[in-house]
Structure 1
Amino acid sequence: MQPIIFEKTKFNRDDFHLDVNLELPGGKLSVILGPSGSGKTTLLDICAGFLQVDAGRILFGGKDITRLPPQRRNLGFVFQDYALFGHLTVMDNVAFGPRMRGCSRGDARRIARKKLAMVGLEEPAERRPDSLSGGERQRVSLARALAADPGVLLLDEPFSSLDAALRLKLRREVRRIIDASGVTALLVTHDQEEALALADYLAIMNNGSIVRHGPPAELWSNPQNHFTAAFLGQKSWLHIKAFTFDGQNAITSAGQVRLSGEACGVRLPAVIMIRPQYLKVSPYGPLRGRLVSREFSAAGWRLELMPESPGVNRLEAEQLTALWPDDTPPRIGEVMAFDVDPHGVRIIELLRNS
């Protein structure tokens, strides 16, 4: 069980600068989540040895592998586009790694057969990759990566080319397979739902830096900075104009919002983050908002509300997302009263790099 350590790792190319100091736990599935251009794939390529750092070190289980070539890092790599050998059978694709490590053909095929059984692909072992579905090819890619018995498994957005239903199914299978193998795994993705569902440990990346890391439930409930909260899909925000004298309420663009605890020590500018399930439409609610859009989802109707409060500059007002429990949603343009459960409120200071 090898932890992955990025020790003051720096990488500079043209106008892109990566600076990462991060330790990921051994024997767990860690996920790096970030938007396009954040540096997550660059960090994965550095980990694999495809790119060389300008400063700092990368360690696998305490061993400095910074200057080692990819083939000497004892890792497996699952590529986004599968990267299977089209002229080889599924069996020979998976046996390729053990053969390169010096195993006899018979031993390599025994290892391959075991890994194919692990991913549920014993039957098509003698077929070519182009006869398989996308999900089957990705499972072959995973079996091939595990066949060389790597200390670290790297996965580059492995589900991005699959349809939604297959993506969900394969995601569960990959989680099961990684748990069964006990390997240290690092996956990168831009998909927030995927990251939260898969990760034992989650790191949020933006502009070449890690802005927050920890267990996914902790990041979800206590994001600490604006970027983390926004990128994890928590879209309801209210800018705080001031706090009431007792610190139990915040004055915002939509009116007063009750807080679950005192706001002592919070510096302005700051925002209130509200998850949709804690924003309740109520005829007696103290806040007002105009319905500007609505859409149906598996969780019910999601309403987008524009705060309506006397004296509010429309350019400063943020849209709020609320859930509507009934089958028939209200009309667009309707002004609605709503309230916020104080236990669903988080205050986030708007500091630089947040």
Structure 2
Amino acid sequence: MDKFQEFLEYLKENDIKKAVIIKKENINYFLEKYPPNFSMLIFDTKKDTAILQVSKLDFEMAKGYKNKNLDIELYENFESTFKECNGIEDSLPIRFLKFVKDYKLVSKKIEEMREIKTKAEIENIKKAAKISDNAIEYATKLALENDNLTENQVAAEIEYFMKKNGSIRPSFDTIAISDKKTRLPHGMPSNDLVKNILLMDIGALYEGYCSDITRTVILNENIKNYSEIYNVVNSVKNEAERNLKAGISVKELDLIAREHMGEFKDYFIHSLGHGVGVEIHENPAISSKIKEDVILKEGMVITIEPGIYTNDFGVRIEDLYLVKKNGFEKLSNAKILEY
């Protein structure tokens, strides 16, 4: 059963006559390609079909999205779109609720469906990962060969490279930070010169599907503790990989990584990883702090990204994985440097 039919069956079982999806990432999920800028996806159980509503600006382009599961219509107004609608997302803006009565939320079902990737989704993620692999290797070479680059220049080079090689845009704000700023997991680039250590956390967006990869490059091997901590982080990632397969719980995987950190585990201040798909952070969270434990299933795409953040600098290494029955397929394959 394809995802359109699965969702329609869910709506029928829950007495939802009509569901309107406006969250772009959820529309992207059903289309398996990047949707028009203004679009709404309507599931009508009476007609047993889905309808993509678009504006006049995107109508000609949207004709190419039509398939056996999907009709294309011209948007008229919100009142007619939401007429008889009783299924909505929990992210629906409050201003639309005046058009809806006695509604049921459908977001949890979509989130559950999104956890397991189809073959087409996996191919899109692989293409996104290939773009970001090449971009980070290009930027690493650039940083090692030049000593007068700013963080903003590195970030701009990465984004230009990804765009030139097929990415719609970055899948999140590009992180390219150096020196003491690397101790900030979500630090943002500036016009500071790159020196001592460079952390790059980047992702490409291909047909609306994300990649996510992080590499830390040591530019000055003479500074105390850089190499030691880098090798601990890399060892922790390798230990997590040894235990990664369908059937392991996310809490257990996270705890295995933390225990392997040894004396540095208090400096690991975020979760081990997260799901990736049409959004850069999806279920499941790879964390020991979540309330309900989650078992990894075949077909999930996740990251593993251990990090250590001291008062002086930070190191993070991250890759993207497809969970398989007896292990995984690594989707990001940019070289990890050795020190």
Indicate whether the TM-score tops 0.5: no
The TM-score, its normalising length taken from structure 2, stands at 0.24
More strand by share: 1
